[in-house]
């Protein structure tokens, strides 16, 4: 089996997932190779590999039909279905990290198997070297320094450093944000964008300058649309709907789609506004909730250093998350789609760090935290209005927190190791193959 990820968004996070999966597959007697499909020699590929498992990458049009392709979508943008889902064969498999409907995917349109596969962790990893039967002792729990930990990057606003305070309504965010004064923000905006785009070529830099010098008010309209479409901590992000509204606004602004078609959606930051801005909004909101309660609050991840309000809590990039978790009583997690079963949550549960996760409109659907774990037994849920009460209750009761940690770890070991995913994949491959032959 050949394991790979989409070349356009290579990420160390996905590489770690593939590495964990590869080790489990190898332990089950399956020959595996981990690499970049876009760069591998294609000659005689079908003789070398009968299966390809790819993160965020659909079946290529020219792949030999004798090779089965398994796609595992973690990110699914408004363009993903058109670009990545057109060439799967009936014996292929398409997984999502949660309910496909949450991503706007209509599986009824396709004749291949579509299902859910959650992330997992590997106990062979050094970070999980402690004994699986560990019972977290009371003294160890009481001596953990941080009351709250947040681990994860802060998506960069192109005028980063100016948005230093969470504002609860879209109207306030736009009216008070420097972006509402396009002329004042233009220089900062262009400089930030051009710096970020330097590696992508001079032509794109010129396009950026031209667009926003000539149309400095357009970005404010686009931000207003994005903020209006997502309520902080709702967990009901619909990037497809937001992207559609953004593209319509751009086309209406210019009188047709000609400008957008020529320059491309990314020039107008459609992906950032439809997908990443909601994550930024959520994380700023969560950080403000924790910072208002205690000084024993730590934030790890890139991007936070630009937000002056949280400077006292920023500890730097995330290098050893397991160490952070082992020194923290709780970890605050968010999901813009409401799909909370992810590697970070599973890591925290393995390391005795109680997960605090906001309630979501999608609670209960496959991939949501409460679809795999029980609130109050494996994690603690909260809303913006009761975060203090819900979190302090578990912080102030170390015996209860220890009980939750033990139950959560046992649930992860039982259901969310890579061996569980290997069993699922092998069963699905056999069942899909058998059903297609029978039909």
- What is the SS3 assignment for 281-348? HHHHHHHHHHHCCCCCEEEECCCHHHCHHHHHHEEECCCCHHHHHHCEEEEEECCCCCCCCCHHHHHH
3-state SS class at 10: coil
Do 433 and 388 share a domain, yes or no?
no
Determine the pLDDT at residue 126: 47
Determine the pLDDT at residue 183: 35
- Decide if 368 is inside a domain: yes
User: Residue 71 is part of a domain; what is its CATH number?
Assistant: 3.40.50
Counting residues of the chain whose pLDDT is more than 70, the rounded percentage is: 82
Asked which of 40-44, 134-138, 143-147 is least confident by mean pLDDT, the reply is 134-138
pTM of the model: 0.84
- Decide if 297 is inside a domain: no
Do 199 and 211 share a domain, yes or no?
yes
90 or 15: which carries more pLDDT confidence? Answer: 90
Determine the pLDDT at residue 169: 33
* Per-residue pLDDT tens over the stretch 86-124: 999 999 999 999 999 999 898 889 999 999 999 999 875
Do 237 and 261 share a domain, yes or no?
yes
Determine the pLDDT at residue 208: 53
Band (pLDDT 50/70/90 cuts) for residue 142 is: confident
With CA atoms as reference, report the closest residue to 21 among 47, 1, 45, 39: 1
* Per-residue pLDDT tens over the stretch 329-357: 999 999 999 999 999 999 999 999 999 99
Determine the pLDDT at residue 36: 84
Strand ranges of the sheet holding 314-316, from the earlier edge strand across to the other edge: 314-316, 297-300, 146-151, 328-333, 354-358, 380-382
Structure tokens given for 321? 């998350």
Do 109 and 20 share a domain, yes or no?
yes
- Decide if 286 is inside a domain: no
* Per-residue pLDDT tens over the stretch 272-320: 899 999 999 999 999 999 999 999 999 999 999 888 899 999 998 888 8
What is the residue-wise DSSP string for 224-278? HHHHHT--TT-----HHHHHHHHHHHHHHHHTSSHHHHHH-GGGGTHHIIIIIHH
Q: What is the DSSP letter of 359?
A: -
Do 99 and 142 share a domain, yes or no?
no
The pLDDT of 253-262, averaged and rounded, is 87
Q: Which helix (H) or strand (E) holds 380?
A: strand 380-382
Do 187 and 265 share a domain, yes or no?
yes
Determine the pLDDT at residue 135: 64
- Decide if 159 is inside a domain: no
Q: How far apart are CA 275 and CA 271, in angstroms?
A: 6
Q: 207: domain range?
A: 170-279
Which residues, at least 6 apart from 127, have a Cβ–Cβ distance to it below 8 Å?
A: 320, 321, 322, 347, 351
196 or 430: which carries more pLDDT confidence? Answer: 430
Determine the pLDDT at residue 120: 96
Look-up: residue for tokens 């397991």? 322
Determine the pLDDT at residue 188: 45
Number of independent structural domains in the chain? 3
A 10 A CB-CB count for 274 gives: 28
Structure tokens given for 73? 């979508």
Do 6 and 115 share a domain, yes or no?
yes
pLDDT of 270 > 70? The answer is yes
Do 405 and 429 share a domain, yes or no?
no
Determine the pLDDT at residue 87: 95
- Decide if 291 is inside a domain: no
Asked which of 122-126, 151-155, 183-187, 230-234 is least confident by mean pLDDT, the reply is 183-187
* Per-residue pLDDT tens over the stretch 54-79: 999 999 999 999 999 999 999 888 88
- Decide if 290 is inside a domain: no
Q: How far apart are CA 77 and CA 13, in angstroms?
A: 18
- Decide if 374 is inside a domain: yes
pLDDT of 158 > 60? The answer is no
The pLDDT of 163-168, averaged and rounded, is 35
Average pLDDT, the chain: 83
User: Residue 410 is part of a domain; what is its CATH number?
Assistant: 3.40.50.2000
Determine the pLDDT at residue 220: 81
Do 8 and 116 share a domain, yes or no?
yes
Q: How far apart are CA 93 and CA 114, in angstroms?
A: 6
Determine the pLDDT at residue 259: 82
Do 221 and 241 share a domain, yes or no?
yes
- Decide if 194 is inside a domain: yes
pLDDT of 49 > 80? The answer is yes
Determine the pLDDT at residue 168: 32
Q: How far apart are CA 104 and CA 78, in angstroms?
A: 9
With CA atoms as reference, report the closest residue to 380 among 414, 416, 340: 340
pLDDT of 160 > 50? The answer is no
Structure tokens given for 349? 């549960």
């Amino acid at each position: 089996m050949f394991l790979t990820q989409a070349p356009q968004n290579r990420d160390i996070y996905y590489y770690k997932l593939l590495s964990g999966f590869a080790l489990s597959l190898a332990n089950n007697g399956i020959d595996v190779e981990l690499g970049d499909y876009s760069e591998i020699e294609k000659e005689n590929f079908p003789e070398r590999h009968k299966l390809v498992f790819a993160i965020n990458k659909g079946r290529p049009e020219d792949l030999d039909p004798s090779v089965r392709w398994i796609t595992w979508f973690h990110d699914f943008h408004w363009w993903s279905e058109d670009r990545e889902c057109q060439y799967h064969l009936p014996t292929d498999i398409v997984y999502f990290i949660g309910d496909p409907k949450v991503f706007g995917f209509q599986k009824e349109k396709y004749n291949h198997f579509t299902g859910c596969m959650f992330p997992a962790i590997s106990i062979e990893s050094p970070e999980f070297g402690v004994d699986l039967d560990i019972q977290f002792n009371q003294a160890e729990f009481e001596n953990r320094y941080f009351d709250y930990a947040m681990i994860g990057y802060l998506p960069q606003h192109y005028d980063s450093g100016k948005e230093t305070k969470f504002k609860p309504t879209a109207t306030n965010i736009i009216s008070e944000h420097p972006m509402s004064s396009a002329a004042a923000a233009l220089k900062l905006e262009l400089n930030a964008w051009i710096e970020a785009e330097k590696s992508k070529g001079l032509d794109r830099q010129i396009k950026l300058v031209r667009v926003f010098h000539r149309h400095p008010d357009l970005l404010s309209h686009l931000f207003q649309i994005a903020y209006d479409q997502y309520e902080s901590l709702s967990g009901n992000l619909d990037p497809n709907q937001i992207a559609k509204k953004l593209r319509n606004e751009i086309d209406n602004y210019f009188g047709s789609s000609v400008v957008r078609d020529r320059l491309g959606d990314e020039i107008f930051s459609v992906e950032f506004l439809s997908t990443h801005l909601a994550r930024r909004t959520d994380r700023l909101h969560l950080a403000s909730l924790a910072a208002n309660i205690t000084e024993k609050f730590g934030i790890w991840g890139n991007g936070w250093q630009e937000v002056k309000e949280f400077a006292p809590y920023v500890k730097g990039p995330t290098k050893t998350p397991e160490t952070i978790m082992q020194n923290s009583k709780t970890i605050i997690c968010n999901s813009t789609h409401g799909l909370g079963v992810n590697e970070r949550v599973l890591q925290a549960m393995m390391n005795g760090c109680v997960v605090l996760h906001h309630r979501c409109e999608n609670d209960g659907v496959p991939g949501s935290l409460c679809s795999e774990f029980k609130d109050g037994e494996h994690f603690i849920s909260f809303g913006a209005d009761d975060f203090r009460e819900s979190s302090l209750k578990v912080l102030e009761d170390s015996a209860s927190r220890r009980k939750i940690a033990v139950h959560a770890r046992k649930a992860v070991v039982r259901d969310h190791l890579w061996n569980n995913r290997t069993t699922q994949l092998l069963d699905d491959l056999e069942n899909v193959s058998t059903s297609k032959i029978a039909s």
